[in-house]
Amino acid sequence: MDVVFIENLVIETVIGIYGWERKIKQKVAFDIEMSTDIRPAAATDTIDEALDYKAVAKRIISFVENSDFQLVETMAERVAEIIIKEFGVKKVKLKLSKPAAVSGSDAVGVMIERGEAS
């Protein structure tokens, strides 16, 4: 299986469990790997046969900007569900980072894999 990826997709949203976090927007960053067969797109050289990473990114941006989850775990699950259900991806690997959430670290977050085994 081939992989189409989106790296370091940074989005501002309400995320967190603390009162002060519920009042501001914070940055989250996504690294996403989507398993798909790229051969039909390569054979026709048309976007109609491809997994449109721009469409995926726009959908994720819209969803995340309008969300207000408390946990990165919940956000990661919902984004993975959207990618699988709406874009027909067989398997998704997703890393969701919350930069500067813990003093002394660049980022914290979760990494998940959802969908069919390859």
Cβ within 8 Å of residue 48, ≥6 positions away? none
Catalytic one among 25, 54, 91, 98?
98
Q: Can 98 be counted among the known catalytic residues?
A: yes
Distance CA 11, CA 93 (A): 18
User: Is 100 within 8 Å of 17 (Cβ atoms)?
Assistant: no
Kindly list the catalytic residues.
98
